């Protein structure tokens, strides 16, 4: 991953209006906007060999070569090798003091110009550009770059992603629709995400009816996949800022269940199940040794990892055993309750290393989203 790619020239003083584009919005954060974008790029590549991507305004970013790059941009570039400078795919990063600075000294014209120039570079020699927004239509209004305003600036039609259901999603779509229409932005249609499998037909039928009453198309219904909401052990490590005490075979195992080891070791062992993450104080060496003994079973029956809490380092003898264990063992400074709460409340975002999830997402979008209808609307 590098920023050091040849930047394409800006084609003209005005923005590129020729390259087809679509803007992916959502009714709320974590509704599945990035998941949809990730799968749509793969689907679009079957029709457009060279697809570009831009997230004009990003709120969660990482630093790469002293540049703040939105983490979703990093994901897209890692998966698809989009052959475009990262700084252009992620032109504006909303830092903690970004809004305060803007309200003290408005510089909207400069921000808009930055987005337009970035889009021109992203669209250079591309057959299609997918634009991803940040949250609902109004996000960014405080600095005059709401998703609705950005979509208008880019001359892009919009797809709204919302969570599965009938009443609440359509109510939320209506709120977002009002703001997009106020800016003169056309909405192609709506994708319902995270719909429970046994309700797919029911939700599809009535959601289509409800959206039609608002003049909107239902473009797809994506079934809920529990695996996409599961964090990896590495994500847990990052969230807890924990120390890795050994060199395990795999840090990307999916956490299916959380066990808090606060009982006697002979009782705790009954909860050592495949996919379980054991959380226990670092001085509970009896539970730790019991967990180690359970690893003698077949690989597929093993727990996914262990978190030792309270910043309590085990004795040298037990630490030596930990180093030989095949599953990750983390040391967190938080107590067991705080650790379990943090893991429970994690917002799980797809990461470049999540190969299994990425493959599933591509398949879900290909099977459940009506791409021909989207292309026809464009």
pLDDT single digits (tens) 115-126: 999 999 999 989
Which whole number is the average pLDDT over 71-89?
A: 90
pLDDT attached to residue 14: 65
The whole domain housing 325 covers: 233-344
pLDDT attached to residue 223: 92
Does residue 219 sit in the same domain as residue 254?
Answer: no
Does residue 191 sit in the same domain as residue 332?
Answer: no
Which whole number is the average pLDDT over 309-337?
A: 91
Tens-place pLDDT, residues 81-104: 988 889 999 998 888 888 888 888
Does residue 158 sit in the same domain as residue 248?
Answer: no
Domain count, the chain: 2
Q: What percent of the chain has pLDDT over 70?
A: 94
Which whole number is the average pLDDT over 217-242?
A: 91
Residue 338 domain-assigned (yes or no): yes
Local structure of 213: helix, strand or coil: coil
pLDDT attached to residue 303: 86
Does residue 72 sit in the same domain as residue 187?
Answer: yes
**CATH code for the domain in which residue 153 is found:** 3.40.50.300
230 within 8 A of 348, measured Cβ to Cβ:
yes
134 within 8 A of 58, measured Cβ to Cβ:
yes
Residue 2 domain-assigned (yes or no): no
pLDDT attached to residue 301: 55
Does residue 77 sit in the same domain as residue 163?
Answer: yes
Tens-place pLDDT, residues 188-200: 999 999 988 888 8
270 vs 294: CA distance, rounded Å:
10
41 vs 350: CA distance, rounded Å:
15
98 vs 107: CA distance, rounded Å:
11
pLDDT attached to residue 297: 54
Instruction: State the pLDDT confidence band at 2, using cuts at 50, 70 and 90.
Output: very low
For 191: left if phi > 0, alpha if psi spans -120 to 50, otherwise beta; the answer is beta
216 within 8 A of 190, measured Cβ to Cβ:
yes
CA angle at 367 for the pair 363 and 371, rounded to the nearest 5°:
110
119 vs 327: CA distance, rounded Å:
44
Q: What percent of the chain has pLDDT over 90?
A: 50
Does residue 74 sit in the same domain as residue 141?
Answer: yes
Instruction: State the pLDDT confidence band at 230, using cuts at 50, 70 and 90.
Output: confident
Does residue 189 sit in the same domain as residue 292?
Answer: no
pLDDT attached to residue 11: 39
Which sign does the torsion angle of CA 118, 357, 341, 334 carry?
Answer: negative
Q: Which of 304, 264, 271 is nearest to 287 (CA)?
A: 264
**CATH code for the domain in which residue 297 is found:** 3.40.1390.20
pTM of the model as a whole? 0.81
pLDDT at 333 over 90: yes
pLDDT attached to residue 347: 80
Does residue 221 sit in the same domain as residue 249?
Answer: no
Does residue 182 sit in the same domain as residue 51?
Answer: yes
């Amino acid at each position: 991953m590098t920023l050091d790619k040849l930047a394409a020239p800006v084609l003209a003083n005005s923005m590129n209006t020729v390259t087809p584009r679509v803007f992916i919005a959502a009714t709320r954060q974590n509704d599945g906007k990035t998941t949809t974008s990730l799968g749509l790029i793969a689907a679009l590549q079957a029709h457009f060999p060279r697809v570009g991507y831009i997230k004009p305004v990003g709120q969660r970013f990482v630093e790469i070569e002293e540049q703040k790059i939105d983490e979703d941009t990093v994901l897209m570039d890692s998966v698809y090798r989009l052959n475009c400078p990262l700084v252009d795919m992620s032109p504006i990063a909303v830092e903690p003091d970004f809004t305060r600075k803007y309200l003290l000294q408005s510089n909207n014209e400069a921000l808009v110009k930055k987005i337009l120039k970035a889009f021109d570079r992203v669209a250079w020699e591309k057959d299609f550009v997918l634009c991803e927004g940040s949250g609902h239509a109004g996000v960014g209004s405080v600095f005059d770059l709401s998703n609705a305003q950005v979509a208008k600036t880019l001359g892009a039609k919009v797809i709204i992603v919302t969570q599965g259901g009938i009443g609440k999603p359509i109510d939320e779509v209506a709120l977002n629709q009002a703001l997009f229409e106020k800016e003169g932005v056309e909405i192609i249609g709506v994708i319902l995400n995270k719909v429970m499998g046994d309700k797919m037909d029911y939700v599809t039928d009535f959601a289509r009816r409800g959206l039609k009453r608002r003049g909107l198309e239902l473009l797809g219904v994506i079934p809920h996949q529990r695996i996409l909401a599961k964090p990896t052990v590495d994500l847990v490590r990052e969230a807890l800022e924990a120390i890795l005490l050994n060199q395990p075979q795999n840090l990307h195992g999916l956490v299916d269940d959380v066990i808090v080891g606060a009982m006697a070791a002979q009782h705790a062992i009954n909860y050592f199940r495949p996919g379980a993450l054991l959380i226990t104080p670092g001085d509970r060496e009896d539970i730790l040794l019991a967990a180690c003994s359970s690893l003698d079973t077949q690989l597929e029956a093993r727990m996914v990892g262990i978190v030792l809490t309270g910043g309590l380092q085990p004795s040298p003898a037990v630490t030596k055993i930990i180093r030989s264990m095949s599953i990750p063992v983390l040391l967190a400074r938080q107590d067991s309750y705080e650790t379990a709460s943090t893991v429970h409340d994690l917002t799980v975002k797809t990461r470049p290393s999540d190969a299994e999830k990425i493959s599933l997402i591509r398949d879900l979008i290909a099977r459940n989203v009506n791409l021909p209808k989207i292309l026809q609307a464009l």
